[in-house]
Structure 1
């Protein structure tokens, strides 16, 4: 429906104001200088904030999109910033006087105006090795942008399998709604975790490994072929997607619980 049709339908009593609000939210797209169309209402419609994939964008483009987004919404994630652009984006964010969350070993940033209230669900995040931390931190930033509390534990892979049990016990006791597992090499940690708990698991295969099956191919194939049910898998190194899915699951769970 076009906007005038929506308004006429409300006037004639054919649709409710709440239904009209949902339909109108689909039109909240703004073009910036002819090179980008920003979906400002994505957060309201899907619960997911705007994410700028910076790796393939020019510095000036990133700045313009960031500034316009933060004028209309509370937060934005700038992901995969080029090494040469990272300090410049940080300095730019400080000039905008917005708050900044960084990720360890990650070139992604969460920028926001008002303090983020962790009123959503809980997400557990773990990595097999230290090389997987950057990807896991991208997932954490995404979850926190979506108001989720995160419980993290890194370097708990199957090479020292005893390390995983204390943190898994903590996550179960904390009643996390979803667990993200980032793992390279053969990606075995995701399967292991999914066999031990009745919690949705999201595996992130990371581009860590040697020779045959390197760059995350072996980890991806292993996770996709897992015989353990309850494990879903995102693309190689895609912490942003894993965080968005996990936070949606967690926030949906907390919303259902609050309605009881």
Structure 2
């Protein structure tokens, strides 16, 4: 079923039923007025909606027009509706557990997009930030915790040369979802260098999503968890 919103949007409201994952709203380049109308249309069919790549003006519009809004300012992502209220009150029933690693502090905005997406999808999340390979012993405690907590999937987010996912894949027995970021000096090439590095990972068990795509990584993790728990 497609739901039209004026002449600028066509919502795929049956996506979750058809493919196991809900449609999200990509806010980039939308006006605040367009975004509000799209969210209103979604909430006419669903009880909650996830919005990514928000700017400050759009966030202000969401807070002004909707009662239940959960905003991650760092990740520039928001949830509106029933799930926002659950996130604000800490009342989500979790369907599985993942871990999110970042190589550096500069990668955290991408990680926070992944984090809120995962929470929206009902995943419990362990966060381990600034544990990149420039200082390998920083990984010791996080990897011990991953083993103890029986984590289903690891999302590994890195810029520069993007080596973190390969290191993790050689040390753990869970799927690794690698996210290259556009963080780094010149030949990082806005994320192309870590993207190629992750695609060339020597250890097996690494899947790679697009540059800065924390949202896509968490949706992929959710689908893995759903199949594992079925």
Same fold (TM over 0.5): yes
Contact 2:117 2:219 in 1 (8 A): yes
- Residue in 1 aligned with 2:206? 231
Q: Which residue of 2 aligns with 1:77?
A: 50
Distance 1:117 1:82 in 2: 26
The CA distance in 2 between the partners of 1:144 and 1:203, in whole Å, is 19
Q: Does 1:178 align with 2:153?
A: yes
Q: Secondary structure at the match of 2:50?
A: strand
Q: Which residue does the alignment assign to 1:50?
A: 23
Instruction: Return the alpha-carbon distance in structure 2 between the equivalents of residues 45 and 122 of structure 1.
Output: 24
1:114-171 CA-partner distances (Å, limit 9, x unpaired): 5363331111111011111111111111111111111111111111211112112111
1:159 to 134, 154, 170: 134
Question: Which residue of 199, 202, 216 corresponds with 2:177?
Answer: 202
**1:47 Cα shift?**
2.9
The equivalent residue for 2:229 is 254
Partner Cα distance (1:138, 1:182) in 2: 11
Long gaps (5+) in structure 2: none
Separation in structure 1 between the aligned mates of residue 169 and residue 111 of structure 2, nearest angstrom: 17
Q: Any idea what SS the aligned residue of 2:76 has?
A: coil
Larger displacement relative to structure 2 (205-214 or 176-185): 205-214
> Of the two, which has the highest radius of gyration?
1
Q: Hey, what's the Cα distance between the residues in 1 that align with 2:111 and 2:20? A: 20
Check 1:176–1:112 CA distance in 2 against 1; reply closer, same or farther (3 A cut). farther
Corresponding residue of 1:137: 112
Change (3 A) 1:61 1:126: same
Match of 1:193 in 2: 168
Mapped partners of 1:99, 1:107: distance in 2: 13
The match for 2:67 among 78, 93, 97 is 97
Deviation, structure 1 residue 104 = 5.3
Asked if 1 retains the 8 angstrom alpha-carbon contact of 2:177 and 2:209, the reply is yes
8 Å CA contact 1:121–1:253 kept in 2: the answer is no
1:117 aligns with 2:92: yes
- Conserved in 2, the CA contact under 8 Å of 1:70 and 1:113? no
CA distance in 1, matches of 2:191, 2:226: 29
CA distance in 2, matches of 1:121, 1:249: 10
Determine the C-alpha separation between the residues in 1 that align with 2:162 and 2:47. Answer: 36
Offset, 1:43: 2.1
* Distance in 1 separating the partners of 2:195 and 2:111: 16
In angstroms, what is the RMSD of aligned CA positions?
1.6
Q: Sort the Cα spacing of 1:88 and 1:121 in 2 relative to 1 into closer, same or farther, 3 A.
A: same
Q: Is the 8 A contact 2:63 2:69 kept in 1?
A: no
Which moves more between the two structures, 207-216 or 185-194?
Answer: 207-216
- Report the CA distance between 1:38 and its aligned residue: 0.9
Q: Partners of 2:69 and 2:139 in 1: how far apart?
A: 33
